[in-house]
Amino acid sequence: WRPAKLFWAVASVLLAVALVEFAVLKMTVPAWLAQGAHHRVESLLDGLAWVGRDSAMARAQLGYVLAEADRLEDAARAFARSGALTPDADTFGELAKLEFQLGFVDSAEATIHRAVELAPRRSDVLSLAGEIALQLGHIESARSYFERALELNPNWAAAKTGLSEVERRSARPAPL
């Protein structure tokens, strides 16, 4: 009887953890994010991480809410954790934008490269990579990203605008 009791005890604990995880991720996290209780959500997700049940999706949701609340460093941390849990081009794109805004240009460049590696055939990701490269002054790299985006989607407005800016900057005479 002992093995059977042990089996059911373990199964009960696992079921309880799964039910708590479901309630937290589907009900509590969205409600607290809507209320602006960012610290409570972070603590809750850290608790789930402690039992091995962290959620990339919930971390990304937290990142979007924190960015909207102008808490850029906290948002970047949430997106970085989300990307570490489940690498995703959208997550890395958001993280790269935040890192660039915060002045971490080398990190932003590395992060956008990861996004492009994950989604090399997405015009939006390529355009974002082009925008970051352009802002860093890497004109030829930006041109390449924008051209690749336009090959995939000839009507992608952001890539057209970016390529026009590349052409405008390329036409400038070099400073003496």
> 83 with 90: CB under 8 angstroms?
no
CA distances from 64 to 47, 86, 107 (A): 20, 16, 19
Reference 125, options 89, 77, 168; nearest CA is 89
- Rounded Cα distance between 124 and 154, Å, is 12
- Rounded Cα distance between 124 and 152, Å, is 10
Look up residue 95 and give its two tokens. Answer: 């993280």
pTM of the full predicted structure? 0.79
- pLDDT at residue 72 is higher than 60: yes
Whole-number pLDDT of residue 173: 58
Cα-flanking dihedrals φ and ψ of residue 99, to 5°?
-60, -40
- pLDDT at residue 155 is higher than 80: yes
- pLDDT at residue 175 is higher than 60: no
Question: H or E stretch including 113?
Answer: helix 105-118
- pLDDT digits 0-9 by tens, 16-67: 878 877 877 787 878 888 888 888 888 888 888 887 878 899 999 999 999 9
